[in-house]
Amino acid sequence: MCSENEKPDRLIRMLYDIADDAEAPANSRLSAIKEILDRTVGKGVMLGDEQTEAQPVEIVFRIVDDTNSP
């Protein structure tokens, strides 16, 4: 178990693990990414005790089209 103060950081790190897991279901990964973005844009707890100025976020989606593959 972890203390009440450690829980937010630990849970956020778990979201990163899910988002990075190539074998996780796509909907789980997308949900984790959504939660990470919500928190990193200032909606929730920052990792560590670092206070940083709000920065613009660029989100890039890549769609792989394999319909024309040989």
Comparison of pLDDT for 11 and 47, the residue scoring more: 11
What pLDDT is attached to residue 39? 76
What would the pLDDT profile of 38-65 be if each residue is shown by its tens digit? 777 765 444 555 556 666 777 777 766 6
Q: Where residue 18 falls among pLDDT bands split at 50, 70, 90?
A: very high
∠ CA(62), CA(41), CA(6), 5° rounding? 110
Give which of 23, 20, 19, 21 is closest to 33, Cα–Cα. 19
Segments making up each domain of the chain, as ranges: 1-70
**Which amino acid, 34?**
K
